[in-house]
Every structure is written in structure tokens, then in C-alpha cells.
Amino acid sequence: MHPFDRAIALEPLGQSRFAGHTSADYQNMVGPFGGITAAVLLNAVMQHPDRLGEPTSMTVNFAGPVPDGPFEILARPVRTNRSTQHWLLEQWVQENGQPAIATTATVLTAVRRPTWSATDCPAPLLGGPGPDQAPTIITHFTPWLRQYTLVPLEGDMPSEWDGRENAESLSRFWVRKTTPRTLDFCALAAVCDIFYPRTWLRRAHQVPAGTVSMTMYFHAGAQDIAQAGDDYLLAQARGQEYRNNFSDQSGLLWRTDGLMLASTHQMLYYKQ
């Protein structure tokens, strides 16, 4: 089994409940990589027998730590309309021997129909340097980063943490799974969290930081996502505001042919 599929594997328990287990392959500095938590929550919706349509948006709130070991997910469709469905999700863990909620999420699924389409955010750099024309960054300071191959184009992580502030927080890079795997909704949800904190780039100072809330918008259906195959995606991130221990940042993800697959917006906590 692919490491990603092993990490998001769930066992149905009935009554909209699923059992899962954290994966050593996707460990972060503290607890699991947020993207894998989002992916396993979305997988509960994808496996639910009552699901209508495909994911359109998802918001994940990281309420508390996810300890190594088993967990349960409660995934409930709270309202179903003709073409949309609204979900509430909870991830339950054991905390000091007691059950506790570690993560909550909402998901909107929908039956989407062909209409007029356009973009105000065309993919940059198409026709420019491809992923095979730039050096690959190998970052091993957390296990989950080994699961991705990153090819930086602009705004790479600071090579020296010297505290010299940068005027810009823009990053662009190519990204794909280190072990090839065809892209799907769950994998796309995970890669939406691929961007390191913009505070690190702006300050060149690696303060403790982490995402507390993340929203993903899926702009493509299953077929368009699958057509990305196991190829690279073009990823871009930029911060907006940094104030009083919290900052936000936005990200965009395109296929190599320029089709936008997803956008994301995050709120992060950081220490002084």
C-alpha cells in the first residue's frame, strides 16, 4: 500500500463513525502533518455511503494535539439539498486517558454542472523553468517532508536564520509525491498544507508556528484532478497580515497545463 493510502486508511464502524491510526510517515515536529489530518477527515466523507456529489470546500480547525495512535472520526451529513450536501466532522483521540476532540471540520459536497468558466489567477511561469530544469530541495527536518519532492522557483525557505526581514512572502515551487501516486481529492487536500509559515520567510527567524484553521476550495472535479496523474503541481503561497501572534496566508495549486485545481487560506499561530 502507498504510504499515503496507509496513512488515511479508515475502518467503518457504523453510525457515521470510522477508525484510523496515525502514521509515522507523516509525523510533523509535533503530531501529524496537518495536511494528512485534513486528508483522513475528507476520506471519511469520501467513504460515507450517504455522500452526494464531490468535495467543493473544506474547513479544518486544529483544536488540539493528535497523539500517536488510534483515533475515531465522526462524519455526519447535517443537511442534504438537491445538489449540495453539508457535513460536520470530529476527530476523537485519547487525552490523559479520556476521549477528547482534537480536530473539527466542515465539508461541502456538490453535484457540479458545466457552466461558463474563467480564471482571474492564471498560472505563472508556464513555458518557463520546468521541474526538471531546477535543483530539487531535499528537506528532512520532519518525516512528512520526505513524502514530497519540492523544486523551488522563488521564495525558498531561508538558508540562514539570521533574523533579516524580507519585504516579500511570495513562494513558488513544483511539488509532487516522492513515491508516485495518482492525484485525487484526499491527496489534493493534503498538498494544500504544503506551504511553510510565511512568518519564517518574512523574518528569517524559525519561531514556533502552526496552522490553527485551514480552508480549501476545490475548483476541479475528480476527472480533472485525476488527469494530473503523478505529475508535479505548481504551488504558490503568499502571506497577508502578521499581528499579535496570528498570521494568515493563501495558496494556489495548478496542474502543469495551467488548470487551477485548488486554493487555500490558512490562519496560523506563531510565537514572538
Instruction: Tell me the pLDDT tens digit for each residue of 120-150.
Output: 999 997 666 677 766 666 565 789 999 999 9
Mean pLDDT over the full length of the chain: 93
CA distances from 259 to 49, 170, 225 (A): 30, 20, 10
CA distance 166 to 129: 24
**pLDDT at 152 exceeding the cut of 90:** no
Instruction: List the chain domain ranges.
Output: 3-111+133-270
The residue with greater pLDDT, 143 or 18, is: 18
pLDDT range class, residue 30, cuts 50, 70, 90:
confident
pLDDT computed for residue 129 by the predictor: 63
Q: Where are the beta strands (DSSP E) in the chain?
A: 11-14, 17-21, 54-62, 70-80, 84-95, 98-110, 148-154, 171-177, 209-218, 233-243, 246-254, 260-270
pLDDT computed for residue 128 by the predictor: 61
pLDDT computed for residue 221 by the predictor: 97
pLDDT computed for residue 134 by the predictor: 62
Is the dihedral angle over the CA atoms 194, 208, 201, 104 positive or is it negative? Answer: positive
Q: Each residue of 191-246: pLDDT tens digit?
A: 999 999 999 999 988 889 999 999 999 999 999 999 999 999 999 999 999 999 99
Q: Which CATH superfamily is domain 3-111+133-270 in?
A: Acyl-CoA thioesterase, double hotdog domain (2.40.160.210)
Q: Each residue of 155-167: pLDDT tens digit?
A: 888 878 888 888 8
| DSSP reduced 3-state for 7 | helix
Percentage of the chain modeled with pLDDT above 70 = 95
* Stated pTM of the model: 0.94
Percentage of the chain modeled with pLDDT above 90 = 81
pLDDT range class, residue 188, cuts 50, 70, 90:
very high
